Amino acid sequence: MRKYKIAVIKGDGIGPEIIDEAIKVLDAVSVKEGFELSYHEYLMGGAAYDVYGDPLPEETVEGAKNADAVLFGAIGGEKWDNLPREKRPETGLLKLREALGVFANLRPVTVYDELINASTLKPDVIKGVDLMVVRELIGGIYFGKPRALEKDKAYNTMIYTKDEIKRIAKVAFEIAKKRKNRVTSVDKANVLEVSQLWRETVEEVSKDYPDVKLEHMYVDNAAMQLIRDPKQFDVILTGNIFGDILSDEASMLSGSIGLLPSASIGEKYGLYEPIHGSAPDIAGQGIANPIATIASASMMLRYQFGEEKAADRIENAIKRVLKEGYRTKDISSFDAKEIVTTNEMGSLIAQYAAQD
Ligand code: IPM
Ligand code: MG
């Protein structure tokens, strides 16, 4: 029997409710495909701060490292907004990403035909969009030193080494090879030295991928092109902060940020999480959309465990619920047949995913 150990971090806000649905779906497909999953829960973010006074207890890092993959919900909330940076929930997540060495953050953006009207953009602009943002996750301005907040001045440092750029570029080219053979590398090389090195290094790496077409784009232009004509993109390769911004922007092509999953991978570990935040304003009301988290669990099965069939089951089940008109509140104004709760959405997907 194939067995996988999953470290589960529910986090704050809607984190616990969306993770519960993902687990429900994972259980359903594991039974069907004949593998066994075990779950071990750890605290991170505000929930961890409240108990340990630390947003990332050592125990959580250990647990994550001892597992075959980490499934994570979301963190943060007003309650912890005034804490010093070191104690903030977000710092817990950033440190976990760093501790696991998950340098490549993959954020696929798919526009479901069934939700074509859910986007604020015109249907003909977004129909058929299928792109992947490959974001560098443990470097750049998020981690660069020196950094400081002083009384009358504050600064951060955007820094990338050649090796860091090379390894993320390779991931992007490898992914493009399995997709449409196109990489758009996004930078600000007209202004920033760090982007100049980024561009040169990506060019170098591209020599090993003669079949993949590479183009470079400035980040401001990329932000515009994503809205003007998103179909031009296949793989978008970019650094940490540009990727953070562009992936939120790209999520709106699909209609709701509640739909998009992500995988963060490195040499050894994998961390799977929805791209959205903890939405404390709607927590506990049963209206959060669990699809992004369920789709993240599916990425975990595919990328980390190689359980392709189980992953396909989940993806098809998501398409089917949307096709049949089941909608959580965030997407309820679009061709809804029935508005369902977080829990009902999870149960429907679990049920469909387990059917033959
Ligand atoms: C994301 C989030 C995080 C980030 C925050 C919560 C630290 O916005 O995963 O995109 O900026 O990376
Ligand atoms: Mg973000």
Q: Give the pLDDT confidence score for residue 261 in this predicted structure.
A: 97
Q: Give the pLDDT confidence score for residue 83 in this predicted structure.
A: 97
User: Does the pLDDT of residue 179 top 90, yes or no?
Assistant: yes
Q: Give the pLDDT confidence score for residue 148 in this predicted structure.
A: 97
Q: Where are the beta strands (DSSP E) in the chain?
A: 2-11, 35-42, 69-74, 104-110, 130-136, 148-149, 154-155, 182-187, 213-218, 235-238, 261-265, 270-274, 326-327, 338-339
Q: Give the pLDDT confidence score for residue 114 in this predicted structure.
A: 87
Within its chain, how far is the Cα of 144 from the centroid?
22
| pLDDT band at residue 22 using 50, 70 and 90 as cut-offs | very high
**Ligand 1 atom 11 nearest Cα:** 244
Q: How far apart are CA 323 and CA 326, in angstroms?
A: 8
Provide mean pLDDT across the span 178-207. Answer: 98
Q: What domains are defined for the chain?
A: 1-110+253-356 (3.40.718.10), 130-238 (3.40.50)
From 11-25, 192-206, 323-337, the region with the lowest mean pLDDT: 323-337
User: Does the pLDDT of residue 335 top 90, yes or no?
Assistant: no
Q: Give the pLDDT confidence score for residue 2 in this predicted structure.
A: 97
Ligand showing the shortest atom-to-Cα distance for residue 93: 1
Helix, strand, coil percent values for the chain (each to nearest 5): 45, 20, 30
Centre a 10 Å sphere on the Cβ of residue 129 and count the other Cβ atoms it contains.
Answer: 21
Q: Give the pLDDT confidence score for residue 337 in this predicted structure.
A: 94
Taking the centre of ligand 1 as the mean of its atom positions, its distance from the CA of residue 244, in whole angstroms, is 7
pLDDT, tens digit, 9 for 90 and up, residues 31-88: 999 999 999 999 999 999 999 999 999 999 999 999 999 999 999 999 999 999 999 9
User: Length of the chain in residues, anyone?
Assistant: 356
Q: Give the pLDDT confidence score for residue 225 in this predicted structure.
A: 98
User: Does the pLDDT of residue 291 top 90, yes or no?
Assistant: yes
| pLDDT band at residue 223 using 50, 70 and 90 as cut-offs | very high
Contact call for residues 12 and 49 (beta carbons, < 8 A): no
> Is 12's C-beta closer than 6 angstroms to any atom of ligand 1?
no
> Is 98's C-beta closer than 6 angstroms to any atom of ligand 1?
no
Instruction: Please tell me the number of Cα atoms within 13 Å of 341 on its side-chain side.
Output: 9
Please report the atom of ligand 1 found closest to the CA of residue 273. Answer: 9
Q: Give the pLDDT confidence score for residue 35 in this predicted structure.
A: 98
Best residue for ligand 1 mutational test, from 244, 273, 276 (most atoms within 8 Å of Cβ): 244
Residues 6+ apart with CB under 8 A from 41: 7, 8, 9, 10
> Is 249's C-beta closer than 6 angstroms to any atom of ligand 1?
no
User: Does the pLDDT of residue 334 top 90, yes or no?
Assistant: no
At 67, phi and psi to the nearest 5? -95, 170
Contact call for residues 87 and 55 (beta carbons, < 8 A): yes
Residue whose structure tokens are 């050894």 = 268
Q: Give the pLDDT confidence score for residue 271 in this predicted structure.
A: 98
Cα dist from 279 to 42, 70, 276, 289, 306, whole Å: 20, 21, 8, 11, 31
Q: Give the pLDDT confidence score for residue 80 in this predicted structure.
A: 97
Helix (H) or strand (E) holding 169: helix 162-177
User: Does the pLDDT of residue 187 top 90, yes or no?
Assistant: yes
Q: Give the pLDDT confidence score for residue 255 in this predicted structure.
A: 87
User: Does the pLDDT of residue 193 top 90, yes or no?
Assistant: yes
> Is 93's C-beta closer than 6 angstroms to any atom of ligand 1?
yes
Please report the atom of ligand 1 found closest to the CA of residue 244. Answer: 10
Please report the atom of ligand 1 found closest to the CA of residue 75. Answer: 6
Please report the atom of ligand 1 found closest to the CA of residue 105. Answer: 9
pLDDT, tens digit, 9 for 90 and up, residues 308-321: 999 999 999 999 99
Provide mean pLDDT across the span 177-183. Answer: 98
Provide mean pLDDT across the span 225-241. Answer: 98
Write down the pTM of the prediction.
0.95
User: Does the pLDDT of residue 29 top 90, yes or no?
Assistant: yes
Catalytic residues: 142, 188, 220, 244, 248
Q: How far apart are CA 121 and CA 28, in angstroms?
A: 35
Burial class (CB in 10 A: 0-12, 13-18, 19+), 3: exposed
